[in-house]
Amino acid sequence: MRRILAGAIIAACAVSAGAPASAKESESYIAFAEGKYLTALGLAEKEAEAGSKEAYTLMGEIYAEGLGVAQDYAKAADAYAKGADLGDPNAQFSLGRLVAEGRGVRKDPEIAGDLFEHAAKAGNAAAQYNLALLYLHGSGRLADEIKAAEWMKKAAESGNPQAQYDLGAFYQFGRGVPIDKVKAAEWAGKAAQAGLAAAQVEYAVMLFNGHGVDKDEKRGAQLFRLAAEQGNPVAQNRLARLYANGVVYDVDLVQAAKWHLLARDAGVSDFTLDIMLSKLSDEQRVEAERAVDAWESGRLTE
Amino acid sequence: MACVLLCDNGEATEEVPVDRLIDLVQGSGVACLLENRIEQTERLGADGVHIAANRDLYAQARRLLGESANIGVGCGLDRHEAMQLAEAGTDYVAFGSETPNIEPPNIDGIDQCAELIAWWSEIFVVPCVAWNIDNPAQAERLAELGADFVAPSRLIWQDENAATIIAEIDSAIGRVRSSA
């Protein structure tokens, strides 16, 4: 199962710049933070004319997201380009995304790579992460796992959970770095701590097996539960197995069935748990299905 | 789908392709069992093995594969063997004719199988599998009678619409489950 997860990690291409209004105290950003997008756009245009690079970036954000105005990637790219030319890393990153995906501008992985690189060198974690992926996939950059790992490490150190998780996988499988199970566990643990469900599962498995980290089944079980509550079906089946086998928790077949049914609804089967399920009494089965309904409606009201 | 069984054609097989197949099946989140090949199951890391109803064979498989493996037995239409093996600890017993035939469906065989499954599911806790069922309507009937799983036969792959038929069998079972 761990091999599969890692395959998915490396393919993952999460691109998130985070909130644009990163505590810029200009009037346009304040209006933006208050949700007054049209006011923010008007103010940003004035500030931009006066030479504010961040104001261009904000205009780009408003057009890219279609906040209070019609979504317009071409206008967004134009505004980002001005902010990028003036040296705003957020604008460079956001423009890089549009260029990488060919939205509002012609798709060009190489230019996207240049833009990510500028922003990455200025310390933008999302850009560092995306640059690492370009090196990993050989898109716009010659494939280079060592460089991919270097940028991934910078993004991870900047606190990007997806990068922490991926860097953990790099260490686990020796992609661009020597295999190092301890570092693999360390970074997976950080991403798990940040709440990334896939990392919680991965790290929990390490805790159960004592791979790269001291064995701690109780902590592992907690992480499976956190990820299961987030709706991760692999974690739901793992949690179900703990209840079915009486590991960490007392045997509780209804709880086991509840979590397994949820995983199965999400399309992940587990033959051993299916067998367990078929042995339940009608009463247990009904109780488990009620628990599933309660869990699902609990999520809807969140 | 709960599980994929890689069938044994009775000939020696190269292990590399089998290993890759197991990885593929497990990689898509489904358990993979091998038919008959107990040692290969252990060596290649399959989830379990499906064997003929034979207590010595079962004991040997359990010894080699351990408690966590899924070991099921094909009991044909034999109540006695099924009871003894369930008592010995098999993870499932399978009922149904061992020789699959789709056209024409072996209705006599399926009727006998239906009777066995109805009886078994009333009395025993060990799950039972309706074996070699390639027809969605029959699958639905047997699931209604208490079959915990339905296993299509290897001949199903001769049909170019195999995937569709399997999906129909799956949704037929699903209908029974959701109305239960």
Q: For A276, which residue in chain B has the nearest alpha carbon?
A: B127
Of A269, A274, A278, the CB nearest to B29: A269
Task: Say if residue A16's pLDDT is above 60.
Answer: no
- Between A12-21, A258-267, B74-83, the lowest mean confidence (pLDDT) is in A12-21
Q: Do B29 and A271 touch (CB under 8 A)?
A: no
Reported as a pLDDT band with limits 50, 70 and 90, residue A301 is low
Neighbouring C-beta atoms of residue A111, cutoff 10 Å: 16
Reported as a pLDDT band with limits 50, 70 and 90, residue A21 is very low
The pLDDT value given to residue B87 = 93
> What DSSP element (H or E) covers A71?
none
Kindly report, residue by residue over B53-64, the tens digit of the pLDDT. Answer: 999 999 999 999
Q: Which fold has domain A1-143?
A: 1.25.40
The pLDDT value given to residue A23 = 41
Sign of the Cα torsion B30, B27, B59, B151 reads positive
Task: Say if residue A266's pLDDT is above 70.
Answer: yes
Task: Say if residue A14's pLDDT is above 80.
Answer: no
Average pLDDT for chain B: 90
Task: Say if residue B49's pLDDT is above 80.
Answer: yes
Task: Say if residue A25's pLDDT is above 80.
Answer: no
Q: Which residues of B touch A269 (CB under 8 A)?
A: 1-3, 29-31
Q: Which residues of A touch B29 (CB under 8 A)?
A: 4, 234, 267-269
Kindly report, residue by residue over A77-111, the tens digit of the pLDDT. Answer: 999 999 999 999 999 999 999 999 999 999 999 99
User: In this structure, are residues A208 and A219 in contact, taking their beta carbons and an 8 Å threshold?
Assistant: no
Query: What number is the average pLDDT over the span B138-160?
Result: 92
Tokens for A66, please give them: 């279609």
The alpha-carbon gap from A138 to the nearest alpha carbon of chain B, in Å, equals 25
A278 touches chain B (CB under 8 A): yes
Q: For B128, which residue in chain A has the nearest alpha carbon?
A: A278
Query: What number is the average pLDDT over the span B126-145?
Result: 93
A 226-245 → B contacts, CB under 8 A: 234
The domain ranges of chain A are 1-143
Q: Which residues of B touch A257 (CB under 8 A)?
A: none
Reported as a pLDDT band with limits 50, 70 and 90, residue B180 is low
Q: Do B149 and A274 touch (CB under 8 A)?
A: yes
Query: What number is the average pLDDT over the span A214-232?
Result: 97
Q: Which residues of A touch B149 (CB under 8 A)?
A: 274, 278
The pLDDT value given to residue A52 = 94
How far is residue A284 CA from its own chain's centroid? 37
Buried/exposed A193-205: b ≥16 CB within 10 Å, e otherwise: eeebbbbbbbbbb
Q: Do B70 and A270 touch (CB under 8 A)?
A: no
Tokens for B15, please give them: 């292990």
The pLDDT value given to residue B54 = 94
Question: What's this model's pTM, rounded to 2 decimal places?
Answer: 0.76
Q: What percent of chain B has pLDDT over 90?
A: 67
Render chain B in DSSP notation, one character per residue.
Answer: --EEEEPP-SS---HHHHHHHHHHHHHTT-EEEEES-HHHHHHHT-SEEEEES-HHHHHHHHHHH-TTSEEEEE-TT-HHHHHHHHHHT-SEEEES-SS--TTTT-HHHHHHHHHHHHHHHHH--S-EEEES---HHHHHHHHHHT-SEEE--GGGGGSTTHHHHHHHHHHHHHHHHHH-
Q: Do B3 and A278 touch (CB under 8 A)?
A: no
Of A7, A269, A272, the CB nearest to B70: A272
Neighbouring C-beta atoms of residue A287, cutoff 10 Å: 17
Query: How many CB pairs below 8 Å do chains A and B form together?
Result: 45
Q: For B71, which residue in chain A has the nearest alpha carbon?
A: A272
Average pLDDT for chain A: 90
Task: Say if residue A295's pLDDT is above 70.
Answer: yes
The pLDDT value given to residue B179 = 72
Kindly report, residue by residue over B94-111, the tens digit of the pLDDT. Answer: 999 776 555 555 667 788
Of B23, B31, B126, the CB nearest to A271: B31
Instruction: Give this complex's ipTM.
Output: 0.75
Sign of the Cα torsion B90, B95, B97, B103 reads negative
The domain ranges of chain B are 1-72, 75-180
Q: Do A267 and B29 touch (CB under 8 A)?
A: yes
Contacts (Cβ under 8 Å, ≥6 apart) of B86: B93, B124, B126
Answer whether the bond into residue B104 is a cis peptide, omega within 30°: yes
Reported as a pLDDT band with limits 50, 70 and 90, residue B30 is confident
Q: Do A269 and B70 touch (CB under 8 A)?
A: no
Tokens for A300, please give them: 């809807």
Q: Do B31 and A272 touch (CB under 8 A)?
A: yes
Reported as a pLDDT band with limits 50, 70 and 90, residue A7 is very low
Q: Among B19, B142, B152, B3, which Cα is nearest to B70's?
A: B3
Q: Do B70 and A271 touch (CB under 8 A)?
A: yes
Question: How many whole angstroms separate alpha carbon B143 and alpha carbon B137?
Answer: 10
The pLDDT value given to residue B103 = 52
Q: For B69, which residue in chain A has the nearest alpha carbon?
A: A272
Q: Do A269 and B2 touch (CB under 8 A)?
A: yes
The pLDDT value given to residue B8 = 86
**C-alpha separations of A229 from A6, A201, A291 in Å:** 21, 12, 13
Q: Which residues of B touch A272 (CB under 8 A)?
A: 31, 47, 68, 70, 91
Q: Domain B75-180 is classified in which CATH homologous superfamily? A: FMN-linked oxidoreductases (3.20.20.390)
The alpha-carbon gap from A252 to the nearest alpha carbon of chain B, in Å, equals 17
